[in-house]
Amino acid sequence: MSQTPDTPSSSSNLRAIAQNFRLIGWISFWIQLALGVISGVILLANSLFGRNVNSPTGNAGTGFGILLEVGGLVALGMGIYLAYRYTRFGNQLQSSNPTNRPRKSETVQVLRLGLWVNLAGILLTLLGAQAIVGSFTLRALSQGQFIFSPQANQAIISGLDMFVVLANIQTLQAHFAGLVGSLWLLNRVNRP
């Protein structure tokens, strides 16, 4: 990472950075993977079993929101790969051969890519959340229920609908974890 010869202080600093890359990379990897799997399973269950009885025609907003959520999950998959790549960078940084170590510019470039991927995923997921929640709100407002009507006992928003919102929140949390990990490592690399 540094252009100067290995001195005891630069060697210990490099070792600390390498350990940070491995630790933060693995923590970020597992958090993003676990939350991404949960979100993916929820969205898969929604696509298989999610036909709402109260809305047989479907909601265009929900469909578009889920499409954006899937885009957020694709970005999350890229973020998971980059978190794993951070662990590999940590191993390379501890290499005894200085020519096998990644350059600082290369390391910063990968960290910036991780930031952009997670920011894009957050944007897609937030836009999906707006479409999904907006669609649910319109569905609730269009019911026009009266207190004594037979429809008053029917659920406007089903439990599976709420699981879609939960999947969205899980994806946002996963992107946030990736973003925090990338920012922390970038700060660590750029520290004098």
Kindly state whether residue 40 falls inside one of the protein's structural domains: yes
The pLDDT assigned to 4 comes to 47
What average pLDDT does range 144-152 have in this prediction? 57
Kindly state whether residue 2 falls inside one of the protein's structural domains: no
Q: Closest by alpha carbon to 80, among 141, 37, 43, 128?
A: 37
Q: How far is CA 140 from the centre of its chain?
A: 29
pLDDT digits (tens, 9 = 90+) for 13-41: 888 888 999 999 999 999 999 999 999 99
The pLDDT assigned to 163 comes to 86
**Total domain count for the chain?**
1
Does the pLDDT at position 140 exceed 70? yes
Kindly state whether residue 3 falls inside one of the protein's structural domains: no
Kindly state whether residue 94 falls inside one of the protein's structural domains: yes
pLDDT digits (tens, 9 = 90+) for 111-127: 999 999 999 999 999 99
Does the pLDDT at position 3 exceed 50? no
Kindly state whether residue 63 falls inside one of the protein's structural domains: yes
Does the pLDDT at position 2 exceed 50? no
Does the pLDDT at position 9 exceed 70? no
Q: Is 56 helix (H, G, I), strand (E, B) or coil?
A: coil
41: domain range? 8-144+151-190
What does 91-102 look like in DSSP terms, one character per residue?
A: HHHT-SSGGGSP
What contacts 52, CB < 8 A, 6 or more positions away?
58, 158, 160, 161
